[in-house]
A and B are shown apart, each in its own frame.
Chain A
Amino acid sequence: MKNFLATRSGIVIVGLIIGVLAPLLQYMGNPGNMGICVACFERDIAGAIGMHRAGVVQYMRPEIIGFVLGSLVAAFAARDFRPRAGSAPIVRFVLGVFAMIGALVFLGCPWRALLRLAGGDLNAIFGIIGLIAGVWIGTYFFRTGYTLGRANKAPATVGLLMPVIMVGALALLLLFPQISGKPTSGVLFYSLKGPGAMHAPLFIALGVGLVVGIIAQRSRFCTMGAFRDVILFRQTHLLCGVLALLVAATVMNLVLGQFHTGFEGQPVAHTQGLWNFMGMVLAGLCFALAGGCPGRQLFLSGEGDGDAAVFVLGMVVGAAFAHNFGLASSPKGIGPHGMAAVVIGLVTCLAIGFTMRKKA
C-alpha cells in the first residue's frame, strides 16, 4: 500500500494543513504566534500538574494529548504500530531536558519558531538560524559515527504507556475543568492570566491535535529533520513540508489580521538576539542527537517508540527545571540563570556527541 502522505505532494499538503490550523487555534484563543508550540505546551502541562509553579503558564494543553493519540490511531490504522525501546533511554531523557531548556530560552520550539516568523516576529530569525546551527553540529556527530544504539522489539505495553498517560491527562482535564476565577480545579492548576490563560476551546484544540497527530504520523513530518536532511544528505523532502507550513501560516495570519512585522512588542518573545540564537543552538543540537523535533518525538511515542516517550518526559521535566531554577526567558528577556543553563547544556550535548560514537 502506497503511503501518499509520505510523498513530496503529501508532505507539502501536511505542512499546508498544519500552517492553516495553527493560526486558527491562535485566532480561537491560543496565545500570540503560539497556535502550536510543543515546548510551550508541554511546559504548560508541567505547570498544570504542579511540577513548576509559574502561575502564568499552567494548562493541560489538549493539542499535545491529541498529537500522541492521533499518531496512535494512524499507526494502528496503517499497521505501523511498532512497540520498541532500549536505545540509550537515559541519554534521550537528558537530551529532552536540555532541548526544553534551550527552547524556553528562545521561547518556542522549532514549530513555534516558524509560526513566530509567519506572524512577522523577526526575533524568530535568530532562533531559526540557531536551530540550523545546532542541527549542523549534530550532523557532524552523525558523520563521525554517533549512535544511540539499537532499540529492541518490546511488548505492546511499552508502546502503549505514553498514549495511556495522555488518556489519563485528558481524563484529568475533563474531570477537573477550569472554574472561572479560580487557579485550581481538583488536582490541576490553571492560569488566571498570561499565556496559560489563553486557549482555544478544549474540543477544538483536541480535534486539531488529533488531526495533526494523524497526518504527521503518516507523513513523518519533522521540523528538525527538514534541516538535518538538507545538511547531511542534500535531501529537501521534509523541508518542503516545513516551507509549506511557513507559507500557509503567513497567508493565514495576513487573512486573520495576525501579522505584525518587527522585533519589539511581539507576543511571548524577547529581543535578545544572541540568546534567541544560543537557546535554539542547544535545542537544535538536542533534537538532532535524539533523532527528531519535539513534535516528531510525540508522534513516535504514539506509534510505539518507548525511547521517544522518554525524550518527551525529559522535556516535561526540563520545563519544571526551567521555571523552578529561573532558566526560562520571559518577554522581559532571559532568566537569571538562562546563560549558565545553555552553556551547561551545550557542554553536556557535546560530551554526549563525542562519547556516543562507535569505535571505527
Chain B
Amino acid sequence: MNTVDARGLSCPQPVLDTLTAIAGQPSGSIEILVDTQASRENVCRAAQSKGWSVESDTEENNEYRIVITKG
C-alpha cells in the first residue's frame, strides 16, 4: 500500500501530498500518517472530495493513521 507520511508538516502539505498520491493512483488504498487533528480533518475532507472513502482512521500516541480507498 502506498504511504504518505505527513507527520510534522504544516498546512497545506498533508493535503497536497495526499492529493498527489491520489493523482498517481486511480484506485486502491492509500495510507496517510498525520499528527494533528487539523491535518486529519483536512486530509479526510480532501480525499472525500475526490471520491475516495475513509476506510479507517485510528489514533495511537497522538498520531493518526488514515486509510483511504477507491474501488
Contact = CB atoms under 8 A, between A and B. Distances in A.
Interface of A: 3, 6, 78, 80, 82, 84, 86-87, 142, 147-153, 220, 222, 225, 228-229, 232-233, 235, 237, 290-292, 307
Contacts of A84: 8, 35
10 contacts: A3-B37, A82-B35, A142-B16, A220-B42, A225-B11, A233-B12, A233-B19, A233-B46, A233-B49, A291-B10
A142 B12 contact: yes
What are the 10 tightest A-B residue pairs by CB atom distance, in nearest-first order? Answer: A150-B8, A291-B10, A151-B8, A291-B11, A6-B41, A80-B37, A220-B38, A82-B36, A150-B9, A142-B16
Given A3-B41, A80-B37, A82-B62, A291 B8 contact: no
Contact of A153 (B19, B35, B46): B35
B67 interface: no
Chain B interface, >50% SS class = helix
Nearest to B15: A233
A147 B13 contact: yes
B65 interface: no
B7 interface: yes
Nearest to A222: B11
Contacts of B38: 6, 220
A136 to B, nearest CB: 14
Kindly name the residue among B9, B19, B38, B42 whose own CB sees the greatest number of chain A CB atoms within 10 A.
Answer: B38
A190 to B, nearest CB: 36
Interface in B1-33: 7-13, 15-16, 19
A225 B38 CA distance: 13
A28 B16 CA distance: 42
Nearest to A220: B38
A220 B15 CA distance: 14
A118 B8 CA distance: 37
Contacts of A229: 12
Contacts of A148: 10
Contacts of A149: 8
A291 B37 contact: no
Q: Which of B11, B16, B42 has the most CB of A within 10 A?
A: B11
Contact of B12 (A150, A152, A232): A232
A147 B7 CA distance: 13
A5 B16 CA distance: 22
A307 to B, nearest CB: 7
Given A82-B36, A147-B9, A290-B10, 12 more contacts: A6-B41, A82-B35, A84-B8, A142-B12, A153-B62, A220-B41, A228-B12, A232-B12, A233-B15, A235-B45, A235-B49, A291-B10
Contacts of B11: 222, 225, 291-292
Given A142-B12, A151-B8, A151-B10, A78 B45 contact: no
Q: Among the interface residues B9, B12, B36, B41, which one has the most CB atoms of the partner chain A within 10 A? A: B12
A150 B19 contact: no
A304 B44 CA distance: 22
Nearest to B41: A6
A152 B36 contact: no
B10 A307 contact: yes
A80 B12 contact: no
